[in-house]
Structure 1
Amino acid sequence: MKIILSLFLTASLGASSAYGWGADGHETVGFVAMSASFLAPKALSFVRSSLGCTYDESLGPAATWADEVRPEPAYAWSANLHFVDALDNAPTSCSVSQSRDCPDNQCILGAIANYTTRVADTHLSAVQRQEALKFLDHFIGDIAQPLHVENIAAGGNGIDAKCNGSSTNLHSVWDSGMINRLLPSKYNNSVTTWAAALVTRIKSGSYKCEASNWIACSSTTETVSKNHDSHVNHGIIPLECPLVWAKDSNMFGCSVVFNFTSGQDLCTSSYYDEAIPVIEMQIAKAGYRLAAWLNSIFDGATHLP
């Protein structure tokens, strides 16, 4: 059944302000997944028929829906599902634990498990399955954003930062600040151009050798319980792969994310040069994983190299 949060919503910055990648980043994740050779036949057919003309039959335009409805009272329960507050000690040590960080499954780890089940449930209505697809489209993007898997200062929302001369916070810099500089400077300010470039890197460029490792965890049924790291809560059985993906993203908190000095402009300095390759790789990774995940759900395997 759908995750429903208790009536109290934490007043932390993490719950109120943590938006992932921004619209451009999320759309790019969706467009990467929509690459002609990535989605297998049954997955592609479901995506097109489910999303329909409202979303141009594409995961790209649909990827922002979960952020768009989040401020609405009817979707207030979804606020905490966009992230997991990893109670680690970044940047000294980084880790994510399902039992420690998401014991009630009311976080992005439980959300991906929940909507993986729902999107394949033919007993649900077309509207419910479309909603599940749009949540997966968005959350598999969110979990690739390092500050969506980190508790420090509410995922960086409480850390003052500067981007292109303007005052902001670290989370916002990663969500959109650096992307807003990247797109016009390298991709003609086009998310489809960016997505096409990332797809090329996956197929034949700098990501080719590592892309298979990105989807090494692709089972939509393998549970975390086998590692004694969590238990069933709210009727949701936590899955291994979302935890693997979260750990992968979280490690950047110990290498790149917090590696700056006070007052440094993060969008015009060496920090940008170090962070942008991570952002591009994480966007590509999320799109490739999204395609592999949907293929596994609908076609029984990733059908990807």
Structure 2
Amino acid sequence: MSMLILLPIALAVSTVTAWGDLGHETVGYFLAPNALAFVKATISSSDDNSLGPAAIWADEVKYDDGWEWSQPLHFVDAEDSPLDGSCSVEQTRDCGDGQCILIAIANYTTQVSDSSLSSTQIQDALKFIVQFLGDIGQPLHVEAYEVGGNDISAKCSGESTNLHAAWDTGMVEKNIDDNHGGSSETYADDLVTEIKSGSYKSLTSSWLSCTSITEPVSNSKRAPGADLEDEIKNLLQDRATEKITPLECPLVWAQEANAFDCTVVFNYTKGEDLCTSSYYSNAVPVIDLQLAKQGYRLAAWLNVIFDGSTNLP
């Protein structure tokens, strides 16, 4: 039974971008040993041959010339009604044009092990997978209301921001400062401990199940009760002959994250400081859970691609 490996991170803890740099670096820490050789061979030395630094690349380039096309791939605009207690993500309704995170995960999964592609294309595909498996766990990356919270003004620790940024960065950074010694590496260590022997241990098998909580994706070939491993194997087996079709797992993950929009994310009082109130206390368990969950799923995702099984404890 393999153990999760904590990859070293070369760059200093920084502040700025989505699910913060801290959030994505934390997701990037979770990589099981069987995929380690591929990561070290694929990620460039400028990123320390590690998923930690590489995990934020897709956020850094999405506004650069020639990369603007990638912006819609970071989210799915769920056209639901969270303020009315009605949360949902639907493949056809919310990603009918295929330009969203649900299809992007399937697309780059097929590319990352495609030997006909250049080393640069494969490296980019890996970085996109890491980014998108993190993004899909952030509740406001799977919500259309007020542009995923970007158009809702907010305060975090006395600073003016917006609701999306508070979730992407502000509360993640404060959580790390308050509860993990100000270190993203310590935060990752703490989440791994919870996965291996703590409060998350009994949950991990369910994290790899992809049973839809609503309607299954149309054209899905999964047998009832199938899991992440079955889904990836089917996708890779069919890639040579079929158009990329929606996957069940990303839809389920988006639905899970989106459900928090109805219970936690929009449950605030106008004008309150989101990082010094009960709102923050209610948000931290969600942040911890979603980052741990998606990190674990990332490790499983890469292991299945390169070793044929999840290989996780």
Which residue is 1:88 aligned to? Answer: 80
Structure 1: distance between partners of 2:50 and 2:210 = 24
In structure 1, distance between residues paired with 2:309 and 2:87: 31
Superimposed CA distance per residue, residues 76-115 of structure 1 (whole angstroms, 9 cap, x where no aligned partner): 1101100000001113111001100001110001110100
Q: Which residue identity is paired with 1:159?
A: I
Q: Tell me how far 1:298 sits from its aligned partner.
A: 1.0
Residue in structure 1 matching 2:257, options 234, 249, 260 = 249
The DSSP-based 3-state class of the residue aligned with 2:67 is helix
Cα offset, 1:20, TM superposition: 3.2
Alignment of 1:107-256 (within 5 A): 107-217=100-210, 224-226=217-219, 235-256=243-264
Q: Secondary structure of the equivalent of 2:161?
A: strand
Distance in 1 between the 2:94 and 2:220 partners?
A: 15
Contact 1:20 1:148 in 2 (8 A): no
Query: Over the residues paired in the alignment, what is the CA RMSD in angstroms?
Result: 1.7
Distance (whole Å) between structure 2 residues aligned to residue 235 and residue 182 of structure 1: 42
Match of 1:304 among 279, 288, 312: 312
Alignment-mate amino acid for residue 129 of structure 2: L
From 275, 279, 286, the equivalent of 1:271 is 279
Matches of 1:56 and 1:188, distance apart in 2: 24
- Matched length: 272
Output the amino acid matched with 1:124: L
Ranges in structure 1 where 5+ consecutive residues have no aligned partner: 1-18, 229-233
Could you say if the C-alpha distance between residues 66 and 217 of structure 1 is closer, same or farther in structure 2, counting changes exceeding 3 Å? Answer: same
C-alpha distance in 1 between matches for 2:280 and 2:273: 9
State the AA in 2 paired with 1:142.
D
Match of 2:24 among 23, 26, 30: 26
Would the aligned equivalents of 1:157 and 1:172 in 2 still touch at CA under 8 Å? Answer: yes
Structure 2: 5+ residue stretches without partners? 1-16, 222-241
The amino acid that maps onto 1:151 is: A
Report the equivalent of 2:237.
none
Report what 1:262 is aligned to.
270
Indicate the residue corresponding to 1:45 in structure 2.
37
How far off is 1:293 after superposition?
0.6
Equivalent position of 2:61 in the other structure: 69
Alpha-carbon distance, 1:168 to partner: 1.3
TM-score by length of structure 2 reads: 0.83
2: CA distance between counterparts of 1:121 and 1:170? 39
Q: Could you list the per-position Cα deviations for residues 155-214 of structure 1 after superposition, in whole angstroms to 9, with x for gaps in the alignment?
A: 001111111112211101100111121122222221111101100100001111112111
Q: Which residue type is aligned with residue 107 of structure 2?
A: N
When structure 1 is superposed on structure 2, of 126-135 and 182-191 the one drifting more is 182-191
Identity of aligned residues (%): 58
- Hey, what's the Cα distance between the residues in 2 that align with 1:21 and 1:286? 12
Q: Match of 1:167, SS?
A: strand
Partners of 1:20 and 1:141 within 8 A in 2: no
Deviations 1:2-42 (A, max 9, x none): xxxxxxxxxxxxxxxxx6301111001101x13xxxx142x
